[in-house]
């Protein structure tokens, strides 16, 4: 490589790296896309609404299914943590059934599964949940909803966000009538990242828009 072409190689490489860095920064700051609240928002949740959904206070026993951990942060559009935001989370049990009186799925309820949680994120906007991998469930016709977790995040100074989080590598993600309407970027913002196999742990950061 002569001096001129080397200089232009460095310049082009620098441009590509800078563009990539900028794209990553923009990507990291993109607001988490909203999604419908769905028909199964909890109406009679158990009193126990803590971060551990695999057991219910006062009951001896543990939820059926594969235990997973979910960790992440609530951030603003400048990628700064939002502390003390309220995280309202609900999901189907391992069999794909919600703890909701109008869920038509004949799959069994699990009295040891908490089904929902209502907590506040901590210092640095962090949250940690212990739960079970939600089951897939029929949603009418041939539509099968992939495993997902519903979130409603509220914080003064930011727009309320209602969304759904998906799991990486599930083939039902590609045919889901909600997820497949999203852009490629928005889909990737709604799918958690697996960061550990054993115990299975996922990371999911949520970015809120200002009011």
**Calpha distance 192→125 (Å, rounded):** 17
Token code pair at residue 12:
């082009």
Minimal distance in Å, beta carbon 145 to Fe ion? Answer: 6
Q: Quick check: is 137 catalytic?
A: yes
Q: Quick check: is 27 catalytic?
A: no
The residue of the chain with the least Cβ separation from Fe ion equals 38
Instruction: Tell me which residues in 28-57 interact with Fe ion (CB under 5 A).
Output: 38
Minimal distance in Å, beta carbon 119 to Fe ion? Answer: 19
Catalytic residue among 73, 100, 137, 166: 137
Q: Quick check: is 166 catalytic?
A: no
Catalytic residue among 145, 158, 202, 204: 145
Kindly give, in sequence order, each residue whose CB lies less than 8 Å from that of residue 21, ignoring residues fewer than 6 positions away: none
Binding to Fe ion by residue 65, rule CB under 5 A? no
Q: Quick check: is 25 catalytic?
A: no
Task: Let me know if 128 is exposed, middle or buried by CB neighbors in 10 A (0-12, 13-18, 19+).
Answer: middle
CB of 118 or CB of 122, closer to Fe ion: 118
> Between the CA atoms of 202, 196, 136 and 111, what dihedral angle is there, to the nearest 10 degrees?
-80
- Count of residues interacting with Fe ion (CB under 5 A): 1
Minimal distance in Å, beta carbon 170 to Fe ion? Answer: 14
Q: Quick check: is 148 catalytic?
A: yes
Token code pair at residue 62:
């543990």
Catalytic residue among 73, 97, 98, 166: 98
> Other CB atoms closer than 10 Å to residue 129's CB: what's the count?
22
156: helix, strand or coil: coil
The DSSP letter of residue 111 is T
Minimal distance in Å, beta carbon 148 to Fe ion? Answer: 6
Applying CB under 5 A, which residues contact Fe ion? Answer: 38
Task: State the catalytic residues.
Answer: 98, 137, 145, 148, 150
């Amino acid at each position: 490589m002569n001096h001129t072409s080397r200089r232009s190689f460095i310049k082009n490489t620098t441009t590509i790296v800078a563009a990539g860095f900028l794209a990553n920064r923009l990507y990291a700051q993109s607001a988490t896309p909203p999604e419908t609240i769905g028909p199964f928002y909890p109406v009679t949740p158990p009193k126990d609404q803590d971060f551990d959904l695999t057991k219910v206070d006062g009951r001896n026993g543990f939820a059926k299914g594969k235990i997973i951990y979910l960790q992440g942060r609530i951030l603003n559009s400048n990628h700064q943590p939002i502390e003390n935001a309220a995280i309202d989370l609900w999901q189907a049990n391992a069999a794909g059934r919600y703890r909701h009186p109008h869920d038509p799925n004949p799959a069994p309820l699990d009295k040891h599964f908490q089904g929902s949680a209502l907590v506040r994120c901590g210092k640095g906007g962090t949250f940690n949940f212990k739960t079970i991998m939600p089951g897939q469930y029929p949603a009418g016709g041939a539509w099968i909803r992939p495993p997902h977790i519903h979130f409603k995040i509220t914080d003064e100074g930011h727009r309320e966000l209602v969304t759904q989080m998906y799991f990486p590598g599930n083939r039902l993600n590609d045919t889901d009538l909600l997820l497949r309407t999203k852009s490629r970027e928005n889909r990737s913002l709604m799918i958690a990242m697996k960061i550990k196999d054993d115990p299975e742990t996922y990371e999911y950061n949520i970015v809120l828009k200002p009011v």
